[in-house]
């Protein structure tokens, strides 16, 4: 269960409160649409989950964004529709990207900014790249400002940077697992995002947290009557091993959750481990309600920022 699952759960949680939501998928082939039982996403908006019903939920809408499609839109908006497709098909964007690193990322972010400014959706959720690429992705606007002093690219980068640095318009929710290496990577990413880019951090989402189970340290033979059927010793032994394993894993997770809290004093949203290999609409709804159940317990972000 990774960042795309969290993206789906967050979007559904917002929709359950009546907020209109657009998910922007930028890497493709994430499996996002399959989680909602829908066909693969395209550049055109598609509804993943219909609203209405007793909850009064809003729709969850989604689309993909690619640099080429974003460039086509940009050129069309500036009266260059005739040459736009020929320019893209010629591979000119790749040549420009080589000469000006970050141009593809700024095209994506520029389109996200355009969607945000339009006000059509209460919330835009971007399924951003994983840690390493995420930093360079969000850093692209500042990099292009340094490289390009004037012109439309400079204007686009300036506007994108204004969006990224405004906590009322943009926040990053980092996603991790309660394990040592993922926690280390998340902490490093968090400080890089705040110090190098100036983006505001929302709550940390921790995936795959084992739900608490009572009685794991209880002797499985307790309460078994001597007058009953004979005990299956192999089954009892297996139950004992399973209970010990679960206790061990829960203890490791608890240690990492506390270490994360010590290293990065941000509020945490802990999503339960789902004992299934298939994430579908029912599982997304379950995680969305877990999101909503924990939101009232979170402290104000300005009180928890590192």
CATH match for 3-213+266-304 among 3.30.428.10, 3.40.50.300, 3.90.400.10, 3.30.1360.120: 3.40.50.300
Asked if residue 209 has pLDDT above 90, the reply is yes
Window from 27-41, 140-154, 193-207, 209-223 with minimum mean pLDDT = 140-154
Residues 6+ apart with CB under 8 A from 149: none
DSSP state of 178: S
Asked if residue 50 has pLDDT above 50, the reply is yes
What are the tens digits of pLDDT across the range 124-162? 999 988 766 778 888 877 776 666 666 677 788 889 889
The DSSP result for 258-290, as a single string, is HHHHHHS---EEEEEPPS-S---HHHHHHHHHH
Walk across the sheet containing 204-209 and list its strands. 175-176, 204-209, 268-272
Mean pLDDT of 208-233: 70
64 vs 99, which has greater pLDDT?
64
267 vs 303, which has greater pLDDT?
267
Give, in order, the Cα–Cα distances in Å from 302 to each of 22, 265, 266, 293, 299: 26, 11, 9, 21, 8
Asked if residue 94 has pLDDT above 60, the reply is no
At residue 82, the pLDDT reads 62
**Contact criterion met (CB below 8 Å) for 97 and 107:** no
- Indicate the SS3 state at residue 174: coil
Distance CA 39, CA 31 (A): 10
At residue 145, the pLDDT reads 65
What are the tens digits of pLDDT across the range 21-32? 999 998 767 789
- Whole-structure pTM value: 0.83
At residue 234, the pLDDT reads 79
Residue 23 has φ and ψ, to the nearest 5°, of -95, 130
pLDDT-derived band at 239 (thresholds 50, 70, 90) equals: confident
Asked if residue 13 has pLDDT above 90, the reply is yes
At residue 30, the pLDDT reads 74
What are the tokens at 18?
């009546």
At residue 222, the pLDDT reads 58
Mean pLDDT of 37-52: 92
């Amino acid at each position: 269960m990774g960042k795309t699952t969290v993206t789906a759960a967050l979007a559904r949680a917002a929709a359950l409160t009546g907020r209109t939501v657009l998910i922007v998928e930028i890497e493709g082939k994430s499996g996002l649409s399959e989680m909602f039982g829908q066909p693969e996403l395209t550049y055109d908006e598609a509804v993943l989950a219909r609203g209405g019903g007793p909850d009064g939920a809003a729709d969850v809408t989604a689309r993909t964004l690619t640099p080429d499609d974003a460039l086509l839109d940009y050129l069309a908006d500036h009266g260059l529709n005739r040459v736009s497709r020929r320019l893209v098909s010629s591979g000119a964007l790749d040549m420009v990207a080589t000469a000006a690193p970050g141009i593809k990322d700024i095209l994506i972010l520029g389109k996200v900014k355009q969607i945000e400014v339009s006000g059509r959706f209460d919330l835009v959720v971007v399924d951003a790249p994983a840690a390493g690429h995420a930093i360079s992705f969000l850093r692209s606007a500042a990099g292009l400002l340094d490289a390009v002093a004037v012109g439309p690219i400079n204007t686009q980068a300036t506007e994108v940077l204004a969006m990224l640095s405004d906590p009322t318009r943009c926040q990053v929710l980092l996603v991790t697992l309660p394990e040592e290496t993922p926690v280390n990577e998340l902490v490093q990413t968090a400080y890089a995002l705040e110090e190098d880019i100036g983006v505001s951090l929302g709550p940390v989402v921790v995936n795959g947290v084992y739900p608490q189970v009572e009685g794991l340290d209880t002797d499985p033979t307790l309460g078994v009557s001597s007058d009953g059927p004979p005990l299956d010793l192999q089954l009892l032994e297996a139950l004992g091993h399973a209970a010990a394993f679960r206790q061990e894993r829960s203890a490791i997770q608890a240690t990492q959750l506390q270490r994360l809290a010590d290293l990065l004093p941000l509020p945490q949203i802990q999503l339960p481990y789902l004992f299934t290999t298939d994430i579908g609409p029912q599982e997304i709804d379950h995680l969305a309600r877990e999101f909503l159940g924990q939101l009232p317990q979170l402290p104000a972000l300005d009180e928890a920022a590192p």
